[in-house]
A and B are shown apart, each in its own frame.
Chain A
Amino acid sequence: MTTHYLVLSALLFAIGGVGVLLRRNAIVVFMCVELMLNACNLAFVTFARQHGNLDGQLIAFFVMVVAAAEVVIGLAIIVMIFRTRRSASVDNANLLKY
């Protein structure tokens, strides 16, 4: 069963990655990142069960905490950009280039 979980987690992670690359709306990109994080959590929990010790779950817990902090900051930035830029598209913020 473990490989199934891991394959699922890999698949979700890949979809998340593709989502980050394809979508232009900052919030959707952000959600895809959350998706990738959840995929990792799944892998952690699977390994916790596989190895029979709590470390996996512990790590997953901490990942959630970090993810929360990240979301807070990310969204604040998105709001700020939206406020000045009137659009949340990721491609608009492209002044930092050659």
Chain B
Amino acid sequence: MGETITFWVLAVVSVAAALGLVFSRKAVYSALMLGVVMLSLAVLYAVQDAPFLAAVQIIVYTGAVMMLFLFVLMLVGVDSADSLVETIRGQRFWAIVAGLGFGLLLALAVGNVAFSPAAGMGRAVSGRDGNVPALAEEIFTRHVFAFEVTSALLITAALGAMVLAHRERVRPKATQRDLARTRFAGPQPSPLPGPGTYALHNAIDMPALLPDGTVAVTSINRVLARHEMEEGYAPTDPEKAALIKQVLEKDAARDAAPVEGDKPIQVKDALQDEGELRDEGEPQAGTTSRKENAPQEEDGK
């Protein structure tokens, strides 16, 4: 009797979560929804006397794989919500038709099959004291070859991921001497000054003041500035607000320029990028610009 209750509860929860996964605007929410589905499934496994699978589901699948998703989400930009407006003509309508049709068909198929009552795992597990040893025996005797193949698969997957994500270093790693030389050849050899003794705030979103009291343009943190601009909290001081707006426009103009990414990366551009990053360098006074604090290998147009 307990089983049906758990089933119905979990079924409803998992279907709701699945729908939430599909229709939520923010990617993180759908990630969490997926987590809920997986957990409910884990419980269902346990109910269907597959304890080992339930454990694996929770630990490996939900634990590791879901976290990988979240990690990538973080990389890609948590806030990148996409609008639900459909771009491909007729995609939404037909998708629903196909999905429902498919589901109905499966349900129909499953529906008109008369299942005898479940045989339960008793007999299979009887001689081998418990689910896990039985499963282990099964894997390491009959399916040992498949097991080895999957291990090979996992290794290649890891290797693949590394290869895909790796960016070949085209020029020798910039040594300290190079950095020093570029810094001194650049416009701002000395490090940007600290907030100074009379500074009221050393928060990252507060731009630094120059000795004559004006705002140091280079110290404005663009990411935060843009974030605030988008969320609508402009700084109270009108002059600072104007300055931030002007910097943002300059940035936007630069961004509006066709993102190099669209056209296939020419080797020359990549090199030029590398160089431009290092030479132009834009040393910041005390605050870290978006460009500098991103890890060396992550930056890339």
Contacts and interface: CB of A to CB of B under 8 A. Distances in A.
Interface residues of B, number: 88
Contacts, number: 245
Given A52-B119, A82-B76, A11 B103 contact: yes
A1 B3 contact: yes
A26 B3 CA distance: 37
Instruction: Categorize the interface residue count of chain A.
Output: 35 or more
Nearest to B94: A21
A91 B115 CA distance: 43
A5 to B, nearest CB: 7
B143 A67 contact: no
Contacts of B14: 8, 12
B118 to A, nearest CB: 5
Contacts of B50: 45, 48-49, 57, 60
Contacts of B49: 49
B161 A85 contact: no
Interface string A38-62: 1001100110111111110110111
B15 A65 contact: no
Nearest to A58: B138
B106 A5 contact: no
B252 interface: no
A22 interface: yes
Given A27-B73, A45-B53, A58-B143, A50 B119 contact: yes
B56 A31 contact: no
A83 interface: yes
Interface string B78-109: 00101000111001100110111011001100
SS class of chain B's interface: helix, strand, loop or mixed? helix
B243 interface: no
B3 A75 contact: no
B75 interface: yes
Given A21-B99, A83-B300, A75 B69 contact: yes
Contact of B95 (A7, A18, A52, A70): A18
Contacts of B154: 65, 68-69
Nearest to A91: B87
B158 A72 contact: yes
Contacts of B216: none
A11 B15 contact: yes
A61 B99 CA distance: 27
Contacts of A86: 259, 261, 301
A68 B65 contact: yes
A35 B69 CA distance: 13
Contacts of A14: 99-100, 102-103, 106
Given A13-B103, A32-B22, A62 B4 contact: no
Interface string A71-97: 111011111101111111101000000
Interface string B45-75: 1001110110011001100110011001101
Contacts of B30: 28, 31
20 contacts: A7-B110, A7-B111, A8-B11, A10-B110, A15-B19, A15-B22, A17-B102, A17-B103, A34-B69, A35-B21, A41-B53, A52-B121, A54-B124, A57-B52, A65-B153, A69-B157, A73-B160, A73-B164, A78-B72, A79-B72
